[in-house]
Structure 1
């Protein structure tokens, strides 16, 4: 990390703090100049000098918008003290370090903001001001109120479709203030057309969430920062995938493709895979608010115990109702291709619902993702319909907590758990099982240094511990397309500080020919609430 940005930031703030008190006294010799010395409060004095409303401070919290607004405020500060030539405005906007110091050393008196009542603004100036304020307002709404989101994968098919354009409410759970305040507006984490970061990573703020209208509830469609996206492969085909799963796959390959051999020394093989990936295609760490955004359905709340038995979700040992539109994979056998096409057409299925197709003695077998109502309908159209088994995924370290263990090796997407979700204030014993389940939570999410000694003793932050008390809430997220969703069953808990907002409305929906068989607007889904 270079020190130059920090030096420039500290210098800019220092110049503001030493300049504003002097300027306040030039406007009013009896004013409370001390307010200009206090970081944060000095913005109020600044806005008074340029005769702008106090609520501009809110816009300073918005990434990207804050840089734009600070530039405007620097220029207007110069204007308020008579520096109105084009050269002076450029200096105050582009070189505030120079402009502020020069303004402080001068004897320019306060004359207030420019009065445009008797002068016509140029067309360029009018359009520039309109564009700036449109950017400020739209950027603030995007960060604090609502944000658009697109469904890119079929993991929520059945309720949310690929090609749905959603409105995500930030106010439902409370908008999060950004950790990376210096970023380009309207761009999440990379410049268009590539993977160049759209933000600066040298300066970050602590996590802070403003009050919301409600808590996360079961079956909410939640948008969140992907927990395993804190590092990414610098490759457009891999950047949105599970970084640790990719490393583990490469590490297993380095162990001769044998999972058990890999598990004897996972750190060695993971380090080798990481060293290779750091050279080609390259690795990049991402701050929390710049991780890829995922959307899943929240099925488990803090403190609850989650398990899946034969595909049925259980909470605290009791089966719960499934969300409407839940899909599972089935192997459907047809007598011939004509029957298969007829069923496909009658049920209005798309290419995304279809999996591998193979010839069998009975005719044609196709793997399909179907809802309960579609299963009932297709039984009258096909020779045989049987649920797909996921037993082949056991013992491959695909399932959370992704470690070799006699119990965990028996888990698959349809048979999983029990796992208790973290809840702030709850205390667990640091048994061998719990250390495996919560090690990443304690280390990566709650930022403690956890070490397990060869004798099994657990050391946290240098102290032997037998218990651990959670500092945050954790949630369990699953896709409605249960057999085609990478979710908490594979990568575990979603911490509360990763929650972005609640998907509330599908404002537009479009399908394409490659994924759905034909391209068209789905008018029946436009302006439809997300259920």
Structure 2
């Protein structure tokens, strides 16, 4: 829906209000024509139903208005004596069109002094619940939204099990584009697993004024541009989603509009200069460690390194009972009962199970092991462990379709990429056979142009073009866990209209979050800490608890004083 179409829809709604309520306005003592004047008709209606004028604002906020409209419909019916439960049901089932029946087919009297208080406890509960949902929806859609980190693509900056608060207002809150959607639900209704929204109508892209622009190397939450799945890790028919219902991703913005980005041997360069990462950014790179003495996973973990693929154990007393207990957590590579060899994740065999069944297991030390390390971790590891060598694994260029722009003419990968210019609104780029694959998705999908390629000619909206001017800004997003992150290197640019917000606060952090609730352990040093900032991460949870205790003591003293 364009702005022009939205304006026409708005005018039609005003006409509908007039046709439905003009007579009721007159009965209530107002001019019938006041029902025809946009915005003013809503203000007058609030006076008629004796509700606050600021409710008018809620009627024009997307998503929130879906909650407010039924309330106003029922309040209008009650203001003219239609107080029964059946009247409320008819009002809701008719989507407010019951007002036509009241306006044209029955004689009604305006109840100016009607009691606004709920007549039953259940009525009070419903009213309180609706107000609570409205306030939560406003906060969720326009100010702060909670997110959970489910994958390790930003290790060690953000960890799996970090619970984030994401600011919508830093980069300017994006108004919801999907007009009809369940409040505070993304794309799926929990439990029943069905779609939580209607694809139409779609509102035009609008964003409230921003506090700041996205800065290079900011961590940003956005809608995944390439999202065509209803459920991750499940093969099914392609699903086309509205922008604001695409899956939420969090990455680091390493490239801004107008930047020329390249990656050489895993290092990012912006406009020919090596990109300097913030203090808390800890990019991970793959290394291969060699040691003739064998590499101990236990010692790696003691050194703070747990980002490796597996551990290998031999179990001497395997039996059916032990196997049944372990089979969901191991991969068997040798099923000889006397020499039962298994692979586990980095945490190894579960200690509780080992103790419970007295499992006789020993870890097989391998002479080489693939590790994912930061540069500092690599330097320290050489000093603290008896390694023969530690070699960073760097891919060479090979032509492929796995990485953006997913075209055999390009030989880019995780470690060798670009140079590529990130589009900026208003800037033009030359379009030819070589550059077209880089910008085709932008021109065709994000900026909604009709694209045709006829031999050596590229037609946009049936006109042959040599250059193209971009309509919006684009960004380049990457994970810090460079070889375990699906990011812009796989699917390209992130349009500005996909930006959601800026993670600002970690209010909870749980180690083992994906391993079941029995394995959860709070990371106390991360709870109530900021996402960005210079210096070491600091938890403010202790300060919060202290203030909470002081507040409760003051409340107790105040109550005791009143009692005395």
Q: TM-score, normalised by structure 2?
A: 0.77
Give the equivalent residue in structure 2 for 1:70.
69
Q: Paired residue for 1:491?
A: 491
Report the counterpart of residue 449 of structure 1 in structure 2. 450
In 2: Cα distance, 1:486 partner to 1:150 partner:
17
Provide the residue aligned with 1:87 in structure 2.
Answer: 86
Alignment of 1:108-147 (within 5 A): 108-112=108-112, 114-116=114-116, 121-147=119-145
1:241 maps to none
Aligned mates of 2:244, 2:36 — CA distance in 1: 31
> Aligned pair 1:343/2:299, yes or no?
yes
Shift of the 170–112 alpha-carbon distance from structure 1 to 2, 3 Å rule, reads farther
Partner of 1:168: 166
Per residue, is there more helix in 1 or in 2?
1
| 8 A Cα contact 2:476 2:488, kept in partner | yes
The answer to whether structure 1 residue 413 and structure 2 residue 411 are counterparts is no
User: Could you tell me which residue of structure 1 aligns to residue 233 of structure 2?
Assistant: 237
Are positions 1:529 and 2:484 aligned together? no
Partner of 2:262: 307
Structure 2 distance, partners of 1:331, 1:515, is 27
The answer to whether the Cα contact below 8 Å between 2:179 and 2:200 also exists between their aligned partners in 1 is no
Shift of 1:216: 0.9
* 1:307–1:315 Cα contact (<8 Å) kept: yes
Secondary structure of the 2:483 match is helix
Q: Is contact 1:335-1:362 (8 Å) kept?
A: no
Q: For 1:351-385, what per-residue CA distance to the aligned partner results, in whole angstroms no more than 9, with x for missing partners?
A: xx1125689x9943222221122112211214121
Segment drifting more, 196-205 vs 501-510: 196-205
Matches within 5 A, 1:275-294: 281-294=236-249
Unaligned runs of 5+ in 1: 1-8, 239-276
C-alpha offsets along residues 453-490 of structure 1, whole Å, 9 cap, x if unaligned? 11x11211011111111110001111111111111111
In 2: Cα distance, 1:61 partner to 1:509 partner: 37
Q: Does 1:333 align with 2:290?
A: yes
User: Matched residues in 1 for 2:492 and 2:276: separation?
Assistant: 22
Distance 2:507 2:376 in 1: 26
State the Cα distance separating 1:219 from its structure 2 match.
Answer: 1.4
- Is 2:266–2:394's contact at 8 Å kept on the other side of the alignment? no
Cα distance in 1 for partners of 2:474, 2:419 equals 15
Secondary structure of the residue that 2:309 maps to in structure 1? strand
Partner SS state of residue 24, structure 1:
helix
Among residues 354, 368, 371, which one is paired with 2:308 in the alignment? 354
- Give the greater-gyration-radius structure (CA): 2
Shift in Å, 1:107 = 3.2
Distance 1:340 1:216 in 2: 43
Contact 1:357–1:367 (Cα < 8 Å) also in 2: no
Indicate how the Cα distance of structure 1 residues 283 and 17 shifts in structure 2: closer, same or farther if over 3 A, else same: farther
Question: CA-to-partner distance for each residue in 1:392-411, whole Å, 9 max, x for gaps?
Answer: x8323111111110xx12x1
Question: Residues 347, 60 of structure 1: CA spacing in aligned structure 2 closer, same or farther, 3 A cutoff?
Answer: farther
Cα deviation for residue 336 of structure 1 reads: 4.6
1:366 to 364, 369, 382: 369
One of 185, 205, 208 as aligned partner of 1:207: 205
Structure 1 contact 71–94 (Cα < 8 Å) conserved: no
Contact 2:172 2:207 in 1 (8 A): yes
What is the CA–CA distance in structure 1 between the aligned matches of 2:392 and 2:62, rounded to whole Å?
48
Q: Shift in Å at residue 15 of structure 1?
A: 4.2
In the other structure, the counterpart of 2:176 is: 178
**CA deviation after TM superposition for structure 1 residue 111, in Å:** 2.3
Question: Once superposed, what is the RMSD of the aligned Cα atoms?
Answer: 2.7
The equivalences for 1:259-278 within 5 A come to none
Q: In 2 relative to 1, CA 514–46 (structure 1 residues): closer, same or farther, beyond 3 Å?
A: closer
Given the superposition, is the C-alpha separation of residues 61 and 223 from structure 1 closer, same or farther in structure 2, using an over 3 Å criterion?
A: farther
Deviation at 1:195, TM superposition (A): 3.9
Does the residue aligned with 1:199 lie in a helix, a strand or coil? coil
CA distance 1:414–1:294, change in 2 (3 Å):
same
2:392 aligned partner: 387
Q: Does residue 465 of the first structure (1) align with residue 474 of the second (2)?
A: no
Instruction: Tell me the SS of whatever aligns to 1:483.
Output: coil
Deviation at 1:193, TM superposition (A): 3.1
Change (3 A) 1:120 1:96: closer
Q: Is the 8 A contact 1:358 1:365 kept in 2?
A: no
1:396 and 2:400 are equivalent in the alignment: yes
Q: How far is 1:226 from its partner?
A: 0.3
The verdict on how the C-alpha distance between 1:27 and 1:488 changes in structure 2, with shifts beyond 3 A counting, is same
Of 93-102 and 36-45, more deviation after overlay is shown by 36-45
Q: For residue 436 of structure 1, report the CA deviation from its aligned partner.
A: 1.3
* Residues 1:54 and 2:8 aligned together: no
Task: Extract unaligned runs of 5+ from structure 2.
Answer: 1-9, 314-363, 533-564
Shift of 1:64: 4.7
What is the aligned partner in structure 1 of residue 358 from structure 2? none
Q: Secondary structure at the match of 2:189?
A: coil
Check 1:93–1:363 CA distance in 2 against 1; reply closer, same or farther (3 A cut). closer
- Please report the TM-score for the alignment, with normalisation by the length of structure 1: 0.82
Alpha-carbon distance between aligned partners in 1 of 2:170 and 2:514, rounded to the nearest angstrom? 35
Equivalenced residue count is 468
Q: Between 363-372 and 437-446, report the one with greater CA deviation.
A: 363-372
Kept in 1: contact 2:450–2:461 (CA 8 A): yes
Q: Distance in 2 between matches of 1:385 and 1:343?
A: 16
